[in-house]
Amino acid sequence: MIALASDHGGLLLKEAVKELLRERGISFEDCGTEDGESVDYPDYGEKVARKVAAGAVEKGILFCGTGIGMSIVANKFPHVRAALVTDPFMARMAKEHNNANILVLGGRVIGESEAREMVATWLDARFEGGRHQGRLDKIATIEREIFGTGSGE
Ligand code: RB5
């Protein structure tokens, strides 16, 4: 299960990615926004990041105008590793090296076909572990020190 959310700036990309997920038979939950009216990205980023942080969903995808705001919000949450990506190489690295559990895309930065390609690449990639696991462990240690919790990875 993948949770998705956008503000008005990412709405069209969200719809394009939902179509990709339908084509691939991947179940998803759309946490809004539903129309093009101006909304505040933290309200929607929070919905998805909370679900990923709690383990209620395995992955999330967030969209705003640049992707920056959604990245900032999502990475406030423990267990969340949100990656803002702008090309397929970054999308692949986000999984292989960072084991990103939230992908973030900017609706005013990339087009629909690019977004589909990046999401497909991220979904198909596999975390490489090894030295990269050690680095994630260090992030989890920082989380535990600051919040008293950690990613456990
Ligand atoms: C909304 O205008 C815009 O600021 C938002 O979509 C996003 O780009 C923020 O980072």
What would the pLDDT profile of 94-121 be if each residue is shown by its tens digit? 999 999 999 999 999 999 999 999 999 9
User: What are the distances in angstroms from CA 151 to CA 79, 114, 137, 142?
Assistant: 4, 30, 8, 10
Tell me the CA–centroid distance for residue 69 and ligand 1, in Å.
Answer: 6
Q: Which domain holds residue 19?
A: 2-147
Q: What's phi and psi for 130, nearest 5 deg? A: 60, -130
Helix H segments across the chain?
11-23, 41-54, 68-74, 88-96, 112-124, 131-147
Q: What is the pTM of this model?
A: 0.96
Q: Look at ligand 1, atom 4, and give the residue with the nearest C-alpha.
A: 65
Q: Could you tell me the CATH number of the domain that includes residue 47?
A: 3.40.1400.10
- Please, are residues 45 and 6 in contact by the beta-carbon 8 Å criterion? no
Among protein residues, the one with the nearest Cα to ligand 1's atom 9 is: 69
Residue 152 is assigned to a structural domain of this protein: no
Instruction: Tell whether 153 is covered by a domain.
Output: no
Count the domains in the chain.
Answer: 1
Residue 23 lies in a domain: yes
Give domain status of residue 130, yes or no. Answer: yes
Residues 35-80 pLDDT 10s? 999 999 999 999 999 999 999 999 999 999 999 999 999 999 999 9
